[in-house]
Structure 1
Amino acid sequence: MQAQTSILPNFTLKSGTTKVCLSPATKYPSAPGAEEKCNEQPVDESAVWGLVGPGGRTLGISPTAGLYGQASNQTSGPLAMGKKRYINLHQCAYYYGPGADLYTAANDGQVGTVFDAGTNVGNTADTAKNCGSGDVNYPLNDVNSGYKSLDLLGNQFLNLHQCAYYYGAGADLYTTVNDAPVGAAFDAGTNVGNTADTAKKCGSGDANYTFSDVNSGLKSLDTADSARGRGFIEFKMSAPTETNDYTHEAKLNGTSATPASGIVRVRPNDSGWGDWWLG
């Protein structure tokens, strides 16, 4: 898929101003929302802007150039998906003293809300762990419980690490999916990014709870969906000196959408540049 437009006749592209942005809250660069993420590397304007022709320079750029780990010189590529911003992953541990047994929950259990973990998705990062209180046999073990808010904006993969630790004296397995407050020895490397992890990342355990490799693992979940998206592409151009109104057109090639158009208005004492977006 390719976003296309051109510099208007007698206008000049301002070097280094081309941006590709995700903007879940708005599609207008002139009124950005609280959530916005633009290309991490400068757009390679020599690759995406064509040579000067009868109608001026032409732009052909991927709607995700420089985002989701894509190269910043891409002239075509997938359309970004729309999705919730955060995965709030809660890890709740419960301890049975007589059997030296730790039970871990990352989801709601079926035995009642006392063992529920508050894992959720939303557009706000959680600020505290949300765990059921446990019961008289398995009370909440606060030191081994925690949460991690994973920001999906501009990130393609959720790399979910599961780390198990074995206590031989009690034949107990303790499992983590987040960093454990008790210390790095039980941390799980769950993260988000634009690269799929290829190996599990787990703390080494300690003298009582040793790392159990056979019960540990990794799953990299690809959250991208090229069928949906919201964002904009922005650039600046210097205007000619005369006062005039110009019709400016853009389109998203590879869809059935009607080309978008707007008016670029040049007046005395203007700032000398205009912006364009296609959302």
Structure 2
Amino acid sequence: MHRFSVVAAAVAGAIGLTLGSTAAAEQSGARPAERYLNLHQCVYVGSGGHYTNVLPNTANSAFNTGTNVSNTPDSVLSCGPGGGGWRPAPANSAVKAFDLAAGRYLNVHQCVYFNAGQHYTAVLPNTPNVNFNTGTNVSNTADTELNCGPGGGGWRLLPANSAVKAFDLADNRYLNLHQCVWTSSGQYYMGLLPNTPNANFNTGTNASRTADTTLNCRSGGGGWALNRTDSAYRPLGG
């Protein structure tokens, strides 16, 4: 049985943000708006292992996050309470305010760890559990080398599901975030990036001059099936 009672299609919404520095935005014709991408990483633990959510608009609202864009940097983590035996894991959760005026690229590092059939996905660089932090940052340089903490406590990095992707926000109007969640035998795996070596579990996350209108997730495989209740997409821009 699924741990949630709500079953619905993934919901999309658009929020305005400044794509890259103000000068770069003016050159590309992007409309200056909010300065900060406040990314909330909410991790839950239960009988199915670990479940990571970064989006505010999945069908399972009890597990949604406070991810938003604003002219004010968030400093307080906002996570749903969880339910169905799943509880928040504060040591692996955090909020990071990325200053989009600080550089052209949003370099997202997706680090996936594995232990006894369980998967844990991390994208933020500042959780209390520092051995599982990532190199996600804003810079004028596009990152090409994955930066992941070493893990520990029996958890090891899973390179096949990990990757780094540099999103050029100065030359594009939207950051379209696709969060895809797959399930197998009560286990959960979340992917955010489109370019991991394990291509069957990639997502449609991209930077574009247009807002995406449908969720884009690969089909999974090896007994893993897409769970649309926990999956969603969010176009950030305007």
What is the TM-score with the length of structure 2 in the denominator? 0.58
Q: Secondary structure at the match of 1:148?
A: strand
Task: Indicate whether 1:195 and 2:141 are aligned.
Answer: yes
How many residues are paired up? 153
The one of 32, 39, 42 aligned to 1:92 = 42
Matches for 1:76-115 after TM superposition, within 5 Å: 78=27, 81=30, 82-96=32-46, 98-99=47-48, 101-108=49-56, 110-115=58-63
The one of 118, 121, 125 aligned to 1:172 = 118
Matches for 1:153-232 after TM superposition, within 5 Å: 153-168=101-116, 171-179=117-125, 181-225=127-171
What 5-or-longer segments of structure 1 have no aligned partner? 1-36, 39-63, 69-76, 228-279
Query: In structure 2, do the counterparts of structure 1 residues 152 and 136 end up closer, same or farther at CA, with 3 Å as the change threshold?
Result: same
> Aligned letter for 2:74?
D
After superposition, the C-alpha distances for 1:86-142 in whole angstroms (9 at most, x for unaligned) are 00011000001x45x011001136342111011111111011111001014111111
What is the TM-score with the length of structure 1 in the denominator? 0.50
* Contact 1:180 1:186 (8 Å CA) reproduced: no
Q: Percent identity?
A: 36
Aligned counterparts of 1:109 and 1:139: Cα–Cα separation in 2: 19
* Contact 2:75 2:96 (8 Å CA) reproduced: no
What 5-or-longer segments of structure 2 have no aligned partner? 1-20, 174-238
Aligned counterparts of 2:33 and 2:171: Cα–Cα separation in 1: 9
Higher Rg of the two aligned structures: 1
> Aligned letter for 2:129?
G
> Aligned letter for 1:138?
W
Q: Which residue does 2:236 correspond to in 1?
A: none
The one of 122, 138, 154 aligned to 2:86 = 138
Aligned counterparts of 1:195 and 1:208: Cα–Cα separation in 2: 34
Query: In structure 2, do the counterparts of structure 1 residues 83 and 155 end up closer, same or farther at CA, with 3 Å as the change threshold?
Result: farther
* Contact 2:91 2:129 (8 Å CA) reproduced: no
Shift of 1:176: 0.5
Shift of 1:197: 0.5
Cα RMSD, aligned residues only: 2.7
Aligned counterparts of 1:226 and 1:134: Cα–Cα separation in 2: 35
